[in-house]
Amino acid sequence: MSTITDYFATLRDWKLLLAYKAETRVDSIVGFALPQVFSHVRDLDVSAVIPELPLRIGSVQPKHADAKFANKSYKVDFFVVTKCGKNLLVEFKTNSASRRDGQDGYLKDAQHEGLGAVVSGVIALLGVTTYKAKYLHLIRKLCDAGLVEEVGGEFRTSVQNDQLEIVYVQPHLKEGDVASQVIDFLAVAEAIEHGFKDDEFMHEAAESFRSWSED
């Protein structure tokens, strides 16, 4: 067996352990493959994938705008911009049952307030964070995606489509899920196999997602 085969066999074995957190080990693979997944499953061309996008609490939940924690943030696993103008908040779970109502709640709040509020929140966080370099890198990526512009040394939103769509990438549909909001692991495996036909690493990744399709 190759090193790659051994690696994914180890990963599949460790995922069966009680406390092993597989999500943080494979989220980079998912993020890398998302353009191919959305192309194959939704016929969407992806122009940008941004991991761990901060959702400023005071911006996505205006009732907390004046609270001391207004400049704290939730995180969405991936923010995806498509060439046709769709904007997607993508949550990734390696266990369908790990979805939390509270998490679904703040994603819906962000969806209700719109992309302009989300992007404005990121700009506001730049003004208060101690991680200036990281936030500047994030805002530059939002500039590249056409969502922020710099005018006179100041950043401001340039959002054209305020709508946000929520998508869950998870092993399978669970009771109460809306099918149009879920991309299951079998679809992820098929998309990876279709898009990375001759890549041993991605082929083994696809096999892992297939084996995890039933949690």
**pLDDT one-digit tens code per residue, 109-143:** 999 999 999 999 999 999 999 999 999 999 999 99
DSSP type of residue 108: H
DSSP type of residue 162: -
Predicted pLDDT of residue 178: 87
**pLDDT one-digit tens code per residue, 26-53:** 999 999 999 999 999 999 999 999 999 9
Domain count, the chain: 1
pLDDT over threshold 70, residue 173: yes
Predicted pLDDT of residue 98: 74
CA dist 51 → 14, 76, 204 (Å): 24, 7, 23
DSSP type of residue 84: T
pLDDT over threshold 90, residue 214: no
For residue 104, what are the domain limits? 3-211
pTM for the model stands at: 0.94
